[in-house]
Copies of this chain bind each other. A is one copy, B any other.
């Protein structure tokens, strides 16, 4: 199954190029497991979800540790029928077909609660798009039930769900949303925004 993301990092600073360049070293320990290609809009990261989300987390924690208001935006996808398969994408452990929604909610919640902390607080919102499924709202509502139990749920918003907390469990929750909901081998996408150091108080 092909999986990966188009990600962009937006430091709101005159020295945005410097902050991005410095942050890239956070990807060094992940590079051997991922395919990474950059243009002027975004960086493509191809690899299995269990490699992809820790890489995004480490990149964002590095950028936001400068204290600058930073945003990471990502279009994440798995199982798109229009993409070629890629050996680098083979996930370490698959989900069982036919597993009930309640069991998946419990498993995803346990993973997020056990996720290592980074010490960096982030705000996040994202949308889950399970494609090619005629009962896609059931999977979306199941995912929302998981998020409410996960410890990083903040509040519902129109078109998306807002999370908040340590970057460790927040990125773990995004990984669980992508892999644990929607058809096992189907096409699922996330539209993700993660923000840190905003001067706007909510």
- Interface residues of chain A, those whose CB is within 8 Å of chain B, are 4-6, 8, 10-14, 16-17, 39-42, 44, 46, 69, 71, 73, 75, 77, 80-83, 123-125, 127, 129-134, 136-137, 140-141, 157-160, 162, 187, 189, 191, 193, 195, 198-202
Given A132-B134, A189-B129, answer yes or no on A80-B159 (Cβ-Cβ < 8 Å). Answer: yes
A88 to B144, CA, bound (A): 27
Given A6-B160, A12-B12, answer yes or no on A42-B125 (Cβ-Cβ < 8 Å). Answer: yes
* 18 residue pairs A–B, Cβ–Cβ below 8 Å: A6-B125, A8-B73, A10-B71, A13-B13, A13-B14, A40-B201, A40-B202, A41-B125, A42-B157, A75-B127, A77-B159, A83-B158, A83-B159, A129-B189, A130-B131, A132-B134, A159-B189, A191-B191
Q: What is the count of identical protomers in the complex? A: 2
Smallest distance from the beta carbon of A140 to chain B beta carbons, Å?
7
Sort A-B residue pairs by CB-CB distance and give the 7 closest, nearest first.
A40-B200, A12-B16, A10-B10, A191-B191, A129-B129, A40-B198, A77-B159
Residues A162 and B75 in contact, CB atoms below 8 Å apart: no
Residue of B nearest to A132 (CB): B136
**Additional A-B contact list (20), CB under 8 Å, known A10-B71, A73-B73:** A6-B158, A6-B160, A10-B12, A13-B13, A14-B14, A39-B202, A40-B200, A40-B202, A41-B125, A41-B162, A44-B157, A44-B158, A75-B191, A75-B193, A77-B127, A80-B159, A82-B141, A129-B129, A132-B133, A159-B189
